Structure 1
C-alpha cells in the first residue's frame, strides 16, 4: 500500500528575499532512499499569500489525498529547528503578504477553537532529529503570519472526512543562523567556523539540515504505514 506525503514550503515574502523553506521542500521530495520505498512524495511551494494558501491547500488535499502533510517555514529570529505544537486561530492584520495584501480579520475561522494541536508522533520526530545532532525546540507559537495560517488550514483539513492523518509544521532558521555545533559539524577539526568561507558554511548547513528533514520524513512515513 502506497502512502502519500505532501511536503510544502513557502516562497519569498517582505523582508525575506530568499526563503530556505522553498529550497528544502523542493529538495526533500527528490530524495530517494530504501526507507521511503512505497511512499509517494508530493511537493508544493506556496507563494506567500493569504489567497494562495486559502485556495491551493484545500485543492491539494482533495486532489492528492495525502496521508500526512509536512509543512516547512522559516523563522527569521530562530537559531534552531522548531517543531510547532499548535496552530492558533489568529492572523496579523498589520503585515502584508508577498502580494501586498493584508488580512481583514484577526481570526482565521469564526466560531472555531482558538487552538488546534498538531497531529504527529512527537517522540519519534524528536528522536529522528537528535540522531542528526539537531537539538530541536518544541514551540507553541507559530506566529500570526502565513506559517500559522497554513498550519491551521492543514489541521482543519485533517479534521474532515478523508483528511490527512498526520500534520506537522517545522520551522527552520535562516541558514546563516544555525550554528555549526547544532548541526553536528564540530567534528570538522581544523576546518573551524572561522576558516570556512560563508558559502561553504551555508552549503554545509543546508546539507545537514536536509539530511535531518529526510530522517524526519522517514519517521512520518513509518507512522502512516
Structure 2
C-alpha cells in the first residue's frame, strides 16, 4: 500500500500591531482544496500563537504527531505589498518587541551556530509557481527577527534531521482587510493569496514526491 504524502500548512494568529492576520483564512482555504493532484495527499493545518514558547512546544509535537513530508508556512509582513518567498532563516531575534504572551528576548541570536540556515533550492520553484498566477512575488533573504524568522529557523533545523520533514518553506504575505479585500488600492486580495498559495502547495507536493523516489 502506498503511503499518502503528508503536508503540514501553518499560519500565525494576531499579534501586537496586527489584530487581524490574513494567514488564518488563507490556511483554512488551502485546507479545503479538492484537486485530483491532492487525492493522495493528507493536509493538516495549524495556527500558531505569536509566541516563542508556543513555537517551541507545538512545532515538535506537530512534527512528531503528523510526520509531514513537507512543511508550508505562512506569516504576515504588514509593510510589504508583495509576496515574499523566504530563502533562509537568519540567526537573529529582536530584543525590542515582546511576543503575544509578553515575553521579551534578552539576546539577539537564536543559536550560537551559523549566521543563517537556507531552506533549499525548492523555494525558487515555489517563487516561479506563485508568479505564474500573475501576482508580484519576490525572493527574500531577510525573514526579519520576530516570530516568523524564529519559526523559519526551527523548521529548517527540523528538516535537517532524518526524521523531520523533507522540505520546508516560509512565505510572507501582505496585510488584508478583514473581509479579504486589499488593504491598499490595487493590492492583493485573499483570492489572490489563495491562488498563489494553491500554486505553491502543488509545487511543494511535486517536490516532496520527487524526494521520495
Task: Output the TM-score relative to the length of structure 2.
Answer: 0.90
Q: Deviations over 1:117-158 (max 9, x none)?
A: 013523421221122101211110000000000010011001
- Runs of 4+ residues over 4 Å off in structure 1: none
How far apart, CA to CA, are the structure 2 residues paired with 1:138 and 1:33?
27
Contact kept in structure 1, 2:127 and 2:138, CA below 8 Å: no
Paired residues in the alignment total 202
Residue aligning to 1:23: 25
Contact kept in structure 2, 1:73 and 1:147, CA below 8 Å: yes
Residue aligning to 1:114: 115
Contact kept in structure 1, 2:4 and 2:41, CA below 8 Å: yes
| Secondary structure, aligned partner of 1:71 | strand
Unaligned runs of 5+ in 1: 184-204
Q: Deviations over 1:93-131 (max 9, x none)?
A: 110111111112211123x21100013523421221122
How much does 1:21 deviate?
Answer: 1.1
How far apart, CA to CA, are the structure 1 residues paired with 2:15 and 2:203?
30
Task: Output the TM-score relative to the length of structure 1.
Answer: 0.85
Residue aligning to 1:199: none
How far apart, CA to CA, are the structure 2 residues paired with 1:79 and 1:177?
9
Residue aligning to 1:169: 170
Residue aligning to 2:72: 70
Task: Give the direction of change, closer, same or farther, for the CA distance of 1:123–1:14 in structure 2 (3 Å limit).
Answer: closer
How far apart, CA to CA, are the structure 1 residues paired with 2:9 and 2:126?
15
Unaligned runs of 5+ in 2: 177-181
Residue aligning to 1:93: 95
How much does 1:179 deviate?
Answer: 5.8
Contact kept in structure 1, 2:87 and 2:139, CA below 8 Å: yes
Which of the two has higher C-alpha Rg? 1
Q: Deviations over 1:171-210 (max 9, x none)?
A: 0001234663x75xxxxxxxxxxxxxxxxxxxxx111211
Contact kept in structure 2, 1:119 and 1:165, CA below 8 Å: no
Residue aligning to 2:179: none
Task: Give the direction of change, closer, same or farther, for the CA distance of 1:27–1:163 in structure 2 (3 Å limit).
Answer: same
